[in-house]
Amino acid sequence: MHSKYCHLRCPQCEISGNMVLDLKPTRIGKAFCSNCGYDLPLHDGISDFAPHVPLMDPKLRPIQKLNQSPVFSAFYESAVWRAFLTRLGSGISMKDELERILSLAGNGAIETVADLACGTGHYARAFSGKFPDAVIYGLDISLSMLARGQKLARRSNLNSILFLRGDIYRLPFEDSSIDRVNCCGALHLFSNVFPIWREIFRILRPGGVFTGWSLYLKPGLEERIQHRMMEKKLASFFQPGQLGDELKQAGLTHFHCERERLWLIFSATKTKDGLL
């Protein structure tokens, strides 16, 4: 049992602290629950904490299916995709955006970070650099993204990052076990976000910080188009006040938001006593 991964919760019996990981230099050799005996599926050394979600879900939207492609994963962080979209949508560079997120995350004695919908691990690597002694969990539903992220992390000798296949609606972490939760560039892909806020509240330690960015609900023609997409449950867009109110309803307060064109870069905190 690797005690530093005691925050993980078995997807079968949903009990924490019993996951046994056989860690190899570049992959996980075996993962099972010592409580119920459940063997987690492994895919190229990545443990699957979301076996209830098909590897190729036919209900996925086109952009989500694209995220499953190894070819797309290979150039996701390149100048022709993520860097271009960041500059187009926010007017700032990926580096500047990343520095904003790390600044909002604050400092302190950080033991655990969960980067949700981590993609190829761009933010997970940054958090690992800022908090070198922390365990960094990179969680995504796409195996292609995770495999690419694992490769990039190992190339940079960032061995503190553990990539997991997981469901953002059923996070595989113990209650009040994570110091920092981050989710950037994916929240607009979900039509029902309030359960996500509640899951983030559940896993954050009291005083823990949630950072992320999502897309601004822009008044005018864009807003009408965005509302149609939301009505069809294709995406989510936010006004700053609305986003802050939703997070507060979920138990996350001290909301701070910075708008850069269509980007809402924000943070919120779980209160010290874990209560509203």
Dump pLDDT digits (tens) for 133-169: 999 999 999 999 999 999 999 999 998 999 999 999 9
CB 157 within 8 A of CB 25: no
Q: What was the pLDDT predicted at 125? A: 98
Amino acid at 90: S
Q: What was the pLDDT predicted at 6? A: 86
More confident residue, 212 or 108: 212
Q: What was the pLDDT predicted at 273? A: 66
Per-residue pLDDT tens over the stretch 243-253: 999 999 999 99
CB 142 within 8 A of CB 209: no
More confident residue, 271 or 39: 39
CB 175 within 8 A of CB 228: no
CB 82 within 8 A of CB 123: no
According to DSSP, the β-strands at 112-116 and 178-184 are: parallel
List the domains of the chain with CATH numbers.
56-270 (3.40.50.150)
Per-residue pLDDT tens over the stretch 75-97: 899 888 899 999 999 999 999 99
pLDDT at 63 over 90: no
Give this prediction's pTM. 0.94
Express as a percent the part of the chain with pLDDT over 90: 75
**Helices and strands (H and E) in the chain: how many:** 9, 11
Mean of per-residue pLDDT scores for the chain: 92
More confident residue, 229 or 149: 149
| Residue found by looking up tokens 């302190």 in the block | 108
Per-residue pLDDT tens over the stretch 259-270: 999 999 999 999
SS3 state of residue 73: helix
Q: What was the pLDDT predicted at 142? A: 95
Q: What was the pLDDT predicted at 170? A: 97
SS3 state of residue 5: helix
Q: What was the pLDDT predicted at 80? A: 86
pLDDT band for position 25 (cuts 50, 70, 90): confident
What would the mean pLDDT of 207-229 be, rounded to a whole number? Answer: 90
Six token digits for residue 108: 């302190």
Q: What was the pLDDT predicted at 69? A: 87
